[in-house]
Amino acid sequence: MAWRWNARRLLVSAFVLFHLSAVCVWTLPGCYIKDHVQEFYRYYVLPTGMWQWWAIFAPDPVRNTCTLDAEVVDAKGMRHIFEFTRIAELPWWQKITRYRQPKFVNNMANPEYAMSRPFTARYALRQTELKPDAYPLFVSLYFNVKDTPEPGAKAVADPMAPPRIQMIERFEFASLEEVKP
């Protein structure tokens, strides 16, 4: 029985060591170590949503608000819009469980996370529940970008100003089978 206890402790310790090293390497600023070791951790960090980024800190923090949408144009030319979750519009008790959503949205623009874009397009397409006769179709992922005022500016950003549209990527799906998980 003692060997089982030791094996469990060894397994848990190995996982904790792997996890901590993944978080440490991922949060390093760009350097030689990160460039050569990060690829090893990518398939653990990205799917679990534990990626970190430094964009909220000086010297160049994010200066706008982005929301993610998907536009689907089906075989008949009909447009369908899927709006991803808007955290700001939710009551506080629902915001608690979705705190990673804004980070996910901001990372969509980063080329480092481009591998998650096709999965995001498929998810949006599944949420529209289009029938098989709507294929082939195109899915476009794009941001609605609202600028915030510069730090120290006395004027408030115009809340009625329309957002800028920033295209991320476009995908084509030939059949419903390509979209199913």
The pLDDT tens digits for 32-78 are: 888 888 888 888 887 776 766 666 665 667 777 888 999 999 999 99
pTM over 0.85: no
Using 70 as the pLDDT threshold, list the residues of the chain that sit under it: 1, 49, 51-60, 99-100, 154-157
pLDDT for 11 equals 92
pLDDT for 122 equals 92
Instruction: Please state, in angstroms and rounded to a whole number, the distance separating the CA atoms of residues 155 and 158.
Output: 9
